[in-house]
Amino acid sequence: MADLLVGQVLSFAADPFAEGPGAARIWERGGVLVEAGRIAALGDAASLAAAHPDATRHDYGAALISAGFIDAHMHYPQTAIIASWGKRLIDWLATYTFPEEARFADPAYCAEIAGRYLDMALAQGTTSMCSFATIHPASVDAFFTAAEARQMRVLAGKTCMDRNAPADLRDTAEAAYDQSRALLQRWHGVGRARYVITPRFAPTSSPAQLAALGALWAEHPDCLMQTHLSEQTDEVAWVAALYPKARDYLDVYESAGLLGPNAIFGHAIHLTTRERARLAEVGAAVAHCPTSNSFIGSGLFDMAGLKRDGLRVGLATDTGGGSSFSMLRTMAAAYEIAQLRHVALHPSQLIWLATAGSAAALGLGQRIGSLLPGHEADLVVLDLASTPAIAQRSARANDLWEALFPTIMMGDDRAIRATWVNGRLAHARALA
């Protein structure tokens, strides 16, 4: 049985950073036909309804139908400590993150938080994400199990640390390799799951551990590798002291075999000229985490410069260093940070980053992130008049971009009319 979603429909055929708003195709009264978990067709609603009279119709009126949001970098184990007060990165890890992650030694707690996080993500219109787990294999199993129950396409991996962390959160080079390999064999490519090789970051991994994970990645190059890079200046200095022979922070990873086209680096704010050029040369991706960067005081990401350099850039909440589960709020923060760099990101660029841009950064651009025939049917339906403040502004809009921008800047979970995952309705906002 097919479903026909009707409303305003937004689809991208190209990158608006390169092509401008014209990269998007918009149907004011459009439809998306969904069959067997995939997008079968999209176009004029009346034409699709006439061609598929037996399809179940879901009429969302003037709401906007888009590809579901994709969070390119986050930590589901930090769900319960989001918005914890103060601290720089290293202090924040010691004060909040590590004590919370120690609780994931309990498989029941892993399952509780995994389910809680994924349900909140769906309520925010997020249909896919790339997550760090903890050092505990059970934390990976719980996340993939919960996502499988919700039919979500997710990426995750065991976080590996063997130094500069509490004793109960350290593994070894051997355990990192063996446990990551076992989890990879259990989950990678099973259903909608993809395993990601996951050293937390250079300060918490010894050279031996980074090399072991580099060897594992060489054996399974179709996996992604995720880690952190140049988030704060004191972190960069710490890495330089720990790895005095490295040319720079990125060189630490490259020397261990942890740089390539399937690598995605979180933050990437304080990059040297050499690092920027090398990331572009190998085709690696970076994840922009704007609410986290402002909340922890990390710095201003150079969106325009990195896109100009040819890097793939995804958008990310960085839960729980980030201060919101909402990709709408994350888009708003990306706009604000770009403004501080004297660049005004267009609404088309912002929503592209949260959908097709993140999908491309995660190597999934041929599967999700765009409303295109054959793509997996993960969609979000946005109410562009979800609050009185937003409604009064969008009512004056001259085009879709003017109507969408107030929702990007002021929207929250009330703007999520519905979330569809793998061709089925996964979340619907209760209407008053």
**Would you list the domain boundaries of the chain?**
3-68+370-428, 69-361
What is the chain's pLDDT, residue by residue, as a tens digit (432 residues)? 899 999 999 999 999 999 999 999 999 999 999 999 999 999 999 999 999 999 999 999 999 999 999 999 999 999 999 988 877 777 888 899 999 999 999 999 999 999 999 999 999 999 999 999 999 999 999 999 999 999 999 999 999 999 999 999 999 999 999 999 999 999 999 999 999 999 999 999 999 999 999 999 999 999 999 999 999 999 999 999 999 999 999 999 999 999 999 999 999 999 999 999 999 999 999 999 999 999 989 999 999 999 999 999 999 999 988 899 999 999 999 999 999 999 999 999 999 999 999 999 999 999 999 999 999 999 999 999 999 999 999 999 999 999 999 999 999 999 999 999 999 999 998 765
Phi-psi region for residue 83, left (φ > 0), alpha (ψ -120 to 50) or beta? left
- State in words which class domain 69-361 has: alpha beta
| 229 close to 268: Cβ distance less than 8 angstroms | yes
Structure tokens at 2: 């097919």
Q: Do the bridges between strand 263-267 and strand 24-35 make them parallel or antiparallel, or are there none, so unpaired?
A: unpaired
In sequence order, the 6+-apart residues with CB closer than 8 A to the CB of 16 are 22, 23, 24, 346, 348, 349, 352
Helix ranges (H only) for 20-87 are: 45-51
Q: What gap in Å lies between CA 48 and CA 55, rounded to an integer?
A: 9
| 43 close to 50: Cβ distance less than 8 angstroms | no
Q: What gap in Å lies between CA 159 and CA 175, rounded to an integer?
A: 11
Q: What gap in Å lies between CA 80 and CA 131, rounded to an integer?
A: 15
Structure tokens at 164: 């500069």
Structure tokens at 231: 């988030």
Q: Which of 86, 103, 114 is nearest to 193 (CA)?
A: 114
Q: Which of 209, 199, 206, 210 is nearest to 255 (CA)?
A: 210
Fold annotation for 3-68+370-428: Urease, subunit C; domain 1 (2.30.40)
Same fold yes or no, 3-68+370-428 and 69-361 = no
Structure tokens at 79: 């769900």
Element (H, E) at 148: helix 137-149
Q: In DSSP terms, which residues pair with 314 in a beta bridge?
A: 287
